Structure 1
């Protein structure tokens, strides 16, 4: 990790650099904002006591990096305005190098977590992009959602959490320690519970008793009796999922819908092991005629 130190007091800058080098960091020292503008560091230690210099352009340019202000006193010009422009934190001179390293480690971990979350969100959006959801779906939690397609509820739940700015705690009931996971969850989070079908009758009763004290969305692919508000979300446009067992009709419907423009009818019917006449009949049954 490269740390850019912008400080016009050379002795102080060298002292900070030496201690950071001992801690395993690579450092570069610059005495002016103008010189530091053409650098490429991971962390910027920026003195706010640079006579005649405007730190704003540097903060704006590198606001996606870790910028920590080194201040002699706290006021709007030294702290508030730079933080508004994009600086991450400040430290008051004189300071212990251990405190500075702690701040650097904290923001480095924060950036890594932010990148990881962005990756997961992009993956989920891509994974569920083919699922169409009625924009008018409204519900309040806690709620039980009965469905014929788990991925449909997945998209509804993730959309709900984003719209309501809720943190989700995912709890698949196939996990042996599902009870402990529920009881140790943050009470401010929204529990997303799936795979009810894996529980025995006594375990389902235990689950319902526990959930009285939590905010949750419980998804199930079969009827589930409870005293909680229950809604039904079904779809005729199911996509094939390797973890899901489809009916023969659903599977044939999926194959015809997905591949009817990629193969001629003769080949498509052959791959399905049916006659062209049977393929035509299934198209008529499912309403899947080709667009000319």
Structure 2
């Protein structure tokens, strides 16, 4: 990280710079506001509020998107309250422990990085899910199963619902957690927490019954990506968008059928898959042989 130290006590500025350099920071020091305004591209500004009558607010305005930490001799409206309102992030009272200064810098650096990540992922999720249906109202009784033909439709519905209700959303996959019984059984949630669970369609019927018993009276929404009936008191059907992403390519019929078989053979039995493809089970077997697709054996669902 690059650090600009704006301090008219030259010895203090040099001492801070030397110690920060030992921690891997790149440091520059200035004693005049005009000199500071000529410099940019700094991650952190350490700004003294006692610059002998100089106006520090142009520095705050120029670097308000960066980490500005005020170095103050005492606490007052002029040294703390007003600069913070103008855009400074925090302050530290002179004389200060150097470890405290480093902690503040690292804290705000991590915070800004997380803000950027949240903004990126929020914008990306909005873009990816923009074509999918979102809830028209908030009349959702928990726990609830969201049944849909595709995962993205369920994702879009649940994420939009959580945003509308301003609820914190956590995530759990039944596909990757063998100990889901223990985890969900001991789950303790705040009133505003909501857990989104995926992978219910991969459980056998006895396991689904266990799952339903465990989530009773818990704030859980689970997706169920299948068309079959499910024995739960609270099920909401969400229509899917009938598009399959082939990376923008128009496939020939053989390539299309091959992709569909590979993508959905683990979800549908041969009878259903062949019906949806408009062919007999024998034709489906012949297609597998032609494309070199070896059907994976699955455990029966009782």
Taking structure 2 as the reference length, what is the TM-score of the superposition? 0.72
Corresponding residue for 1:225?
A: 231
Aligned residues: 249
Task: Specify which of 156, 168, 189 is matched with residue 193 of structure 2.
Answer: 189
Residue correspondence of structure 1 range 87-106 to structure 2 within 5 A: 87-106=88-107
Q: Distance in 1 between matches of 2:181 and 2:108?
A: 34
Matched, 1:43 2:67: no
| Structure 1 runs (4+) greater than 4 angstroms displaced | 179-186, 241-244, 246-252
SS of 2:221's equivalent in the other structure is: strand
Q: Distance in 2 between matches of 1:87 and 1:248?
A: 64
List gaps (5 residues or longer) in structure 2.
246-258, 279-302
List gaps (5 residues or longer) in structure 1.
253-292
Deviates more, 1:175-184 or 1:41-50: 175-184
Deviates more, 1:155-164 or 1:191-200: 155-164
Contact 1:141 / 1:217 at 8 angstroms: preserved in 2?
A: no
SS of 1:218's equivalent in the other structure is: strand
Q: Distance in 2 between matches of 1:18 and 1:65?
A: 22
Contact 1:169 / 1:185 at 8 angstroms: preserved in 2?
A: no
Residue correspondence of structure 1 range 58-97 to structure 2 within 5 A: 58-97=59-98
Q: Distance in 2 between matches of 1:2 and 1:82?
A: 22
Q: Distance in 1 between matches of 2:34 and 2:182?
A: 56
Contact 1:170 / 1:192 at 8 angstroms: preserved in 2?
A: yes
SS of 2:216's equivalent in the other structure is: helix
Contact 1:172 / 1:193 at 8 angstroms: preserved in 2?
A: yes
Corresponding residue for 1:178?
A: 180
Q: Distance in 1 between matches of 2:70 and 2:235?
A: 52
Shift of 1:250: 7.0
Corresponding residue for 2:256?
A: none
Residue correspondence of structure 1 range 112-261 to structure 2 within 5 A: 112-131=113-132, 133=133, 136-142=136-142, 143-176=144-177, 177-179=179-181, 182=184, 183=186, 187=190, 188-222=192-226, 223-227=229-233, 229-235=234-240, 237-240=241-244, 245=264
Corresponding residue for 2:53?
A: 52
Q: Distance in 2 between matches of 1:14 and 1:147?
A: 63
Q: 1:121 to 1:249 in 2, by over 3 A?
A: farther
Corresponding residue for 1:278?
A: none
SS of 2:92's equivalent in the other structure is: strand
Q: Distance in 2 between matches of 1:97 and 1:217?
A: 48
Corresponding residue for 1:286?
A: none
CA RMSD across the alignment: 2.7
Q: Deviations over 1:115-134 (max 9, x none)?
A: 22222223222322333x25
